[in-house]
Amino acid sequence: MITIRPANERGAANFGWLDSRHTFSFGNYYDPNHMGFATLRVINEDKVSPSQGFGTHGHRDMEIISYVLEGALEHKDNIGNGSIIRPGDVQRMSAGTGILHSEYNASKTDPVHFLQIWILPDQSGIEPGYEQTHFSSEEKQGKLRLVGSRDGREGSVTIHQDVNLYATSLQEGEAVDHALRQGRVAWLQVARGTIDLNGYTLTAGDGAAVTHSEVLTLAAATEAEVLLFDMAA
């Protein structure tokens, strides 16, 4: 079964410096029908004005992934990490027993557009950690590139949960398949462009929950970028 989560039905928050869309309940947006999916808890699509951002704040017991679509996002935390996250980078921060961090638009002139993703960890109270890896456009072009996994295989970032996170970039007319095994579920998030998913048309910001095993075919109607979460049911 495939259930579409349309982009225009997401929660919204606009603070002037931040324009955010919430796939699942977050902040002041609450919908009991959209509290997450499997171990996926948050997908926020954020656009942050130049030189603006999220001041130092805390998290615990959450796997937080940042995926930049345009611009540059500056990260600092209290365990000694500081970095700039750009398109192609995947950042994983394990909050564990507690971490303080800030996120700012690193540019004084251009906005930053990124996805912030939260995944529930498989155990609480782990040591906080940080990882950032770059995946080239060529690695994702026309194929599903593993960018996050429980065991960090194939150079992916390590997620403390039974999740395989794939990213793909597709030119118009390109398609990729993914076999969803029994006992697994999937969430598909369209970052940009338009695709056909097993007969369903999805555009930028749309999500789709898949709750039974089948072969998923992602066919690009326009140039597109997509994230696919393959998770334990």
Q: What is the mean pLDDT of each run of 10 residues along the chain (233 residues)?
A: 97 97 97 98 98 95 98 95 96 97 96 98 96 97 98 98 98 97 97 97 98 94 98 95
Outline where 72-153 has alpha helix (H): 137-140
pTM of the model: 0.96
Range of the domain at 115: 2-232
Look at residue 228 in the predicted model and tell me its pLDDT. Answer: 98
Radius of gyration of the chain (CA): 17
Number of domains comprising the chain: 1
Look at residue 214 in the predicted model and tell me its pLDDT. Answer: 86
Q: Which residues pair with 102 in a beta bridge?
A: 76
Q: Which residues contact residue 67 at a Cβ distance below 8 angstroms, ignoring those fewer than 6 apart?
A: 89, 90, 91, 114, 115, 117, 167, 191, 227
Tokens representing residue 197 in the block: 């998913």
Look at residue 131 in the predicted model and tell me its pLDDT. Answer: 97
CATH code of residue 76: 2.60.120.10
From first CA to last CA, the distance across the chain in angstroms is 13
Q: Across the beta sheet with 145-149, what order do the strands follow? A: 2-5, 207-210, 184-192, 224-232, 163-170, 145-149, 157-158
Question: Which amino acid belongs to residue 161?
Answer: Q
Look at residue 92 in the predicted model and tell me its pLDDT. Answer: 98
The per-type count for the chain, helices as H runs and strands as E runs, is 1, 22
> What single-letter DSSP state applies at residue 28?
T
CA distance 25 to 11: 7
Look at residue 107 in the predicted model and tell me its pLDDT. Answer: 96
